[in-house]
Structure 1
Amino acid sequence: MPFPVSMMPSTLPSSDSAPTLVENITDPAERQKAIERNRILARAQELEDLAQKCKKEYNEAFAQYKVLKDLGTLTPEEHALNHKLTKEKEAKAFVALKMSRQVCWDAELEISRLDEK
């Protein structure tokens, strides 16, 4: 049976995660750093959004799974299909969350390296 999970939070890098306005930066090296930092943050945000979407889909699928299971009107084939579809959503959510988490960690590292330069 699928299980409800309070999945790990995927959070953006903590070091000032707002995009930097590059138009106001005159130093070419600093401008390039800001552009790179914004690119890193955009990728992390994109994957965090995907993880949240997948988590929401899974939570909805799990709620539907419980309702259909408790009705008792499903045939064994329908029950197996309901279970399979819910497990697929669960796997998708975990993969998206894992990817998002890894990208956020990588982004944190890349941003700290940029800040050191």
Structure 2
Amino acid sequence: MVTDESVLLFFREELSTLATWSFKKIPLELDTILQEYALDTTEFIEAIEKYDEVFGVDVSAINWDCYYPWEMEWFFRSWFTKKPLVQTKKPLTVKMFAESARAGKWLYD
């Protein structure tokens, strides 16, 4: 049976771990927004393809237009404005992939 932890472990193994400026590791969690965590697009695409193979979820059913392009906040943005960045796309999380793996198909869009 597929669990949240098994999918989380899968993505932790497949994606590089991010770190802060002081080299403190930022762990990948169930509710982490993958568009912001997986900065290497090639690595993320390969992880999604492997997810398809490992968990048997047809990733071709994912409508990527719902999730990309993702607006990344500019490092110095807070110096110029206090307005929050407004996202027009939905976030992708590990939890979404875990729920889809349990269902055997992509559940979102």
Larger radius of gyration: 1
TM-score, normalised on structure 1? 0.27
TM-score, normalised on structure 2? 0.28
Higher relative contact order (CA 8 A, sep 6+): 1
Higher helix share: 1
